[in-house]
Chains A and B, each alone.
Chain A
Amino acid sequence: MQSSQLLKGTFYTMILKVLSENGRMYGYEIAQKVKSLSGDEIIVNEGSLYPILHKMEEEGMVIAERIDIGNRTRRYYTLTDSGTERVQVKIEEFEQFVQVVRRVLYPAGA
């Protein structure tokens, strides 16, 4: 299922959702989480993960904390209040989208 155009559009929502359920996480952790939740089906491409995280930070959806973990600095991401609100909106958006697609793919009146 890798790298389909379809998936890319949903990364933003997935990352938000994962963060909303797990609290503070760092990049690697988020990638692993998505991977394990999807039963290794979805690999969040890092080329998408980090640009999205940094965009979210700029938008104020998440805040990043720099924590010294001994040999390096690790950036932990946490949802902000507006990020938390956004999760629900994004999920509803996604479901509407799926329903619309469904209607097109399986027309009811056939």
Chain B
Amino acid sequence: MSIQLKKNQVAFIRRDLEKRGIYYSPLQEDIVDHICTAVEAEMAQGVRFKEAYKTSLRQFYPEEVGQIQSQTLNHLNSMTLLSSYLRTAFRNLRRHKSYTAINLLGLTTGLTICLLIFLFIRYELSYDQEHQEKNLYRLTATIKQSSGQVINTALTGAPWGPVMVEEFPELLDVSRFMKYRLDVLVAHPKSNQSFYEANLMWGDQAALQFFDLPLLEGDRASALERPNSVVISERTARKYFGDGQAMGEMLLYNNEVELMVTGVMRDMPENVHFKADLIASFNTLQSFWGTINSWTIQYYYTYFNIQQGTDIRQLATRFPDFFKKHIGDEWNARRSVQLQPVADIHLRSNLGSELKANTNIGYIYLLALVAVVILCMACANFVNLNIARSLNRLREVGIRKVMGGLRKDLMFQFIIESGALVILALLLSLLAAFLMLPYFNTLLDKNLTLFSEPDWMLMAFLMAMTLLVSLVAGALPGLYASKVKPVIALKGKLERVLGKFTLRDGLTLFQFSICICLIIAVGVIRSQQRYIMNKDLGYEKEQLLMLSTNNIPTSRLETVKNELLQLNEVSEVSITSHQLAGDQPYHSAYIFSNAERGYDTLLLGRLHVDMDFIKTYSLDLLAGRDYNPAITSDTASFLINETTVKQLGLASNEEAVGVRINYRAQGENHRYMRTGRVIGVVRDFHFQSLHHEVEGFVMDIQPARAHFIACKIAVTNDFERVIQSVESKMTELVPNTPLDYFFLDDRLAMQYATEAQFNTLLSIATAVALVVALLGLISLVSQMTSLRRKEIGVRKVLGASSQGIVLMVSRRFIQVILISLLIASVAGYFWMDGWLNNFSNRIDFPWYLIVLAGALNLGIALGVVQLIAGRAARLNPARTLRYD
């Protein structure tokens, strides 16, 4: 008669052998099988199980069985052992499915977001880092206004740099840039092609060396030496010349300046603080740009290569003397210059007239922090689950602990198992990151790549993360378990291990504080964004279609304006110098003369308009009157804003009307004096983004400064039709030119793109944090209910209701979450209130968000408890109590 042992008998044998020191998995299988076979043979003779086992064991190995394992392991080398441990680990992971699933999900989401944030941050940090061997600095300037306002700008004077290099030996070389603030027209007459170029820069020959711009064709040492030369990017070359030869071709700038292609450079990467598709030689400007030799006009960017080891601060203290010598001491009263490392521009510079939108280093720190915190949360779940598992095993094998054999084995096994899990999660997150990267890139308008080339830094980062997580998650439970007294472990009582406040409470506290804090942050950022988008800017930004005047001859502008007014869809038209969205104001010194008060000179923003400006932008007129075409002297009259009135120190807006203004205006080739009177005061409106305070502004009429045609649209929908009719009208008036247009409110939204981007990232991170916290909570509640299974059973027998039991389990969670709400509210308030201070126009801290975040988290937590504890509470006590 053949006998087969029951499963629990096999399990008994396995456990007993484990206690005796046989746990190396392949050997354990062999010996379990061997002894089982022997036992089965004995039992076939009619011996009872326990007896049969005793006999078989004695026969098998008369001495201590555990020695077989040490003998076997002594024979084997470490690779065999490691691979066997790994195999065991995977087998265990398969066996504990929910453990594996929760950990894998948590770790994978955590690691994926970390990986994406890592790529993002690394990219942001990579700006302008490629010129390390040079000591590149940018000259920046500070202008103090009489109002006390300080303007920091990247713009400097054109003649400064070359003379400074002559007078300061530390300055080895200089390179300058000039970039017109609007798109410029570039034509290739031979092929009759023309394009508006947003990224045409005028640069010194040295720029090619300073920024290591690689030329594919042409000589890098001399391409920009001569006037009327231009270096163009590959893409630009293709655009104008197709597959044909670019070198030596003639391009025409703005229908007046000829530029010969002397070099073709590789397309510029994004991670440089400026973008140039064409670089024309700076000395070309001498021939047509009127202000190029002016010492006081700041419209140029200046860079220096500075002698290594120079004390920059000391060098800067000698600059005022330089300006005293060349311009005069009065210049130093209001202005100063500084040196700024080029490598710092992208993350640490927020000046006026930056060549590209920069990022704030604060955002980078914050994102890094969020990534680390999410990873910690995922690790914490992992550690917690491992502790629970190790304690479960402790209960099984508590005796062995008494025998002293457990600690090292258990720890080693956990580290290997954690390692295997982490590596699996890492591979999954690499895959996830790879799949998500295109969406991530679209969302953030970036071009990040994963392993497009051998990436040692990323590899090192991944290895470090793997090692850290598996060591922490594996070693901590081992240490923790080894601290537990065997008696406690045997009884399965682990709640009191750390006193009243358990490790689990700490875990919940940590995770929910983070989640609530992040939710508050996202909420505040969103509210602030909504506030900015809807804020009254002092004019009506909706329904404004902006056309560029780029291609329209100045003489035809009046005709175009009148023709546009004839269209049914257009109610008002005004021609202006600025778009009021993202452009930098011009500043000039205005001399106000007033019968009673004498002279007063103010540096104020300049805006050039026409007679229909107030009507088209719906500005509020507070005093005086609007321009009147019937009054001929009005072409020389001024409008000012409220802030200007305040800066003048006048008691009322009415007092400002009639004040005389003198200022030196810039004509085509010379400067001339303009004189006129203030005819009206308008309510303050926002010229720049809401990051900036409203400045004092002066408006006047200067047809030479017409850059934009603002059309007030009469219809509220069907913008397609509006564009079509404007387009056909423009084609009729100015044939053969593409229509260059945009809606003002779209352009305004772009000013807050950095915040929007940051908020998108933070929202994703918050969602991930919530998922991780939720997973943690699920495993916590399951553990708790399974530990208190017996207690729940007894309570039910004694008459407790299911709902009462759920309440009992949830009480602790509610307490902990309320504490975390308190912590998170305080932290969130200080954090986000500080952030809001970055805006000149900010909302009050939205307190309701704290209630909302708290309620959301509490709701989710209670939902989870209800679901899991509720199920445990509904179990039949007869079954739960019988177990064990």
Which A residues have a C-beta under 8 Å from some C-beta of B?
A: 26-28, 31, 45-47, 50-51, 53-55, 57-58, 64, 66, 69-75
Interface segment, one of B73-81, B279-287, B418-426: B73-81
Residue B339 at the A interface, CB < 8 A?
Answer: no
Which chain B residues border A55 with CB–CB below 8 Å? 72, 75-76
Which chain B residues border A28 with CB–CB below 8 Å? 33-34, 37-38
A-B contact pairs, 13 of them (CB 8 A): A27-B31, A31-B34, A46-B31, A46-B61, A47-B63, A54-B27, A54-B76, A57-B80, A69-B33, A71-B4, A71-B5, A71-B36, A72-B10
User: Are A71 and B10 in contact, CB atoms less than 8 angstroms apart?
Assistant: yes
User: Are A75 and B33 in contact, CB atoms less than 8 angstroms apart?
Assistant: yes
- Bound form: Cα–Cα A75–B34 in Å: 10
Residue B342 at the A interface, CB < 8 A?
Answer: no
Across the interface, B29 reaches (CB within 8 A) one of A57, A58, A70, A73, namely: A73
CB distance from B13 to the nearest CB of A (A): 9
User: Are A50 and B5 in contact, CB atoms less than 8 angstroms apart?
Assistant: no
User: Are B29 and A47 in contact, CB atoms less than 8 angstroms apart?
Assistant: no
User: Are B33 and A74 in contact, CB atoms less than 8 angstroms apart?
Assistant: yes
- Bound form: Cα–Cα A22–B26 in Å: 22
Residue B60 at the A interface, CB < 8 A?
Answer: yes
Which chain A residues border B4 with CB–CB below 8 Å? 70-71
CB distance from A103 to the nearest CB of B (A): 32
Query: B72's closest neighbor in chain A, by CB?
Result: A51
- Bound form: Cα–Cα A26–B32 in Å: 12
User: Are B26 and A54 in contact, CB atoms less than 8 angstroms apart?
Assistant: yes
Across the interface, B32 reaches (CB within 8 A) one of A31, A46, A51, A72, namely: A72
Which chain B residues border A58 with CB–CB below 8 Å? 75-77, 80
User: Are A46 and B60 in contact, CB atoms less than 8 angstroms apart?
Assistant: yes
CB distance from A75 to the nearest CB of B (A): 5
User: Are B72 and A50 in contact, CB atoms less than 8 angstroms apart?
Assistant: yes
Across the interface, A51 reaches (CB within 8 A) one of B9, B10, B60, B68, namely: B68
Across the interface, B71 reaches (CB within 8 A) one of A26, A47, A73, namely: A47
Residue B597 at the A interface, CB < 8 A?
Answer: no
- Bound form: Cα–Cα A75–B37 in Å: 13
Which chain A residues border B95 with CB–CB below 8 Å? none
Residue B325 at the A interface, CB < 8 A?
Answer: no
Which chain A residues border B67 with CB–CB below 8 Å? 47
User: Are A50 and B31 in contact, CB atoms less than 8 angstroms apart?
Assistant: yes
Query: B7's closest neighbor in chain A, by CB?
Result: A71
**A-contact bits for B29-57, CB 8 A (1 contact / 0 none):** 11111101110000000000000000000
User: Are A75 and B72 in contact, CB atoms less than 8 angstroms apart?
Assistant: no
Query: A58's closest neighbor in chain B, by CB?
Result: B80
**A-contact bits for B459-471, CB 8 A (1 contact / 0 none):** 0000000000000
- Bound form: Cα–Cα A26–B77 in Å: 23
Query: B24's closest neighbor in chain A, by CB?
Result: A54
Chain B: residues with Cβ within 8 Å of the partner, total of 29
Which chain B residues border A46 with CB–CB below 8 Å? 31, 34, 60-61, 68
**A-contact bits for B60-98, CB 8 A (1 contact / 0 none):** 110100011001101111001000000000000000000
Across the interface, B33 reaches (CB within 8 A) one of A47, A51, A53, A72, namely: A72
Across the interface, A64 reaches (CB within 8 A) one of B9, B26, B60, namely: B26
CB distance from B489 to the nearest CB of A (A): 27
* Contact (A50, B33) CB under 8 Å given A55-B76, A71-B5, A71-B6: no
- Bound form: Cα–Cα A50–B30 in Å: 8
Which chain B residues border A70 with CB–CB below 8 Å? 4
Which chain B residues border A53 with CB–CB below 8 Å? 30
Query: B81's closest neighbor in chain A, by CB?
Result: A58
Query: A55's closest neighbor in chain B, by CB?
Result: B75
User: Are A47 and B32 in contact, CB atoms less than 8 angstroms apart?
Assistant: no
- Bound form: Cα–Cα A58–B36 in Å: 25
CB distance from A36 to the nearest CB of B (A): 14
User: Are B30 and A75 in contact, CB atoms less than 8 angstroms apart?
Assistant: yes
CB distance from B856 to the nearest CB of A (A): 48
Query: A53's closest neighbor in chain B, by CB?
Result: B30
User: Are B26 and A72 in contact, CB atoms less than 8 angstroms apart?
Assistant: no
- Bound form: Cα–Cα A70–B3 in Å: 12
- Bound form: Cα–Cα A47–B27 in Å: 11
- Bound form: Cα–Cα A57–B79 in Å: 13
Query: B22's closest neighbor in chain A, by CB?
Result: A50
Query: A43's closest neighbor in chain B, by CB?
Result: B59
User: Are B71 and A51 in contact, CB atoms less than 8 angstroms apart?
Assistant: yes
CB distance from A37 to the nearest CB of B (A): 18
- Bound form: Cα–Cα A75–B84 in Å: 14
Query: B36's closest neighbor in chain A, by CB?
Result: A72
- Bound form: Cα–Cα A27–B32 in Å: 11
Which chain A residues border B77 with CB–CB below 8 Å? 58
- Bound form: Cα–Cα A54–B26 in Å: 9
Which chain B residues border A50 with CB–CB below 8 Å? 27, 30-31, 68, 72
Query: A70's closest neighbor in chain B, by CB?
Result: B4
- Bound form: Cα–Cα A45–B76 in Å: 19
Sorted from nearest, which 6 A-B pairs have the closest CB atoms? A51-B72, A28-B37, A55-B75, A58-B80, A28-B34, A51-B71
- Bound form: Cα–Cα A46–B59 in Å: 9
Query: A48's closest neighbor in chain B, by CB?
Result: B71
* Contact (A51, B75) CB under 8 Å given A46-B60, A71-B4: yes
- Bound form: Cα–Cα A86–B192 in Å: 85
User: Are B5 and A47 in contact, CB atoms less than 8 angstroms apart?
Assistant: no
Q: Which of A26, A45, A46 is packed against the most chain B CB atoms within 10 Å? A: A46
Which chain B residues border A47 with CB–CB below 8 Å? 61, 63, 67-68, 71
Q: Which of B6, B10, B33 is packed against the most chain A CB atoms within 10 Å? A: B33
- Bound form: Cα–Cα A23–B37 in Å: 20
A26-B30, A51-B68 are known; give 13 further A-B pairs, CB within 8 A. Answer: A27-B30, A28-B34, A31-B34, A47-B61, A50-B68, A50-B72, A51-B75, A53-B30, A57-B80, A58-B75, A71-B7, A72-B33, A75-B26
CB distance from B4 to the nearest CB of A (A): 6
CB distance from B10 to the nearest CB of A (A): 5
Which chain A residues border B76 with CB–CB below 8 Å? 54-55, 58
CB distance from B262 to the nearest CB of A (A): 68
- Bound form: Cα–Cα A83–B65 in Å: 29
- Bound form: Cα–Cα A47–B72 in Å: 9
Query: B75's closest neighbor in chain A, by CB?
Result: A55
- Bound form: Cα–Cα A98–B146 in Å: 112
CB distance from B23 to the nearest CB of A (A): 14
- Bound form: Cα–Cα A54–B81 in Å: 11
Which chain A residues border B29 with CB–CB below 8 Å? 66, 72-75
Which chain A residues border B34 with CB–CB below 8 Å? 27-28, 31, 46
Query: B9's closest neighbor in chain A, by CB?
Result: A71
Which chain B residues border A64 with CB–CB below 8 Å? 26
CB distance from B743 to the nearest CB of A (A): 70
User: Are B33 and A26 in contact, CB atoms less than 8 angstroms apart?
Assistant: yes
Which chain B residues border A71 with CB–CB below 8 Å? 4-7, 9-10, 36
CB distance from A16 to the nearest CB of B (A): 16
Across the interface, A27 reaches (CB within 8 A) one of B6, B10, B33, B61, namely: B33
| Residues in B246-276 with C-beta less than 8 Å from chain A | none
Across the interface, A54 reaches (CB within 8 A) one of B9, B33, B75, namely: B75
CB distance from B587 to the nearest CB of A (A): 82
- Bound form: Cα–Cα A54–B10 in Å: 22
Which chain A residues border B71 with CB–CB below 8 Å? 47, 51
Which chain B residues border A51 with CB–CB below 8 Å? 68, 71-72, 74-75
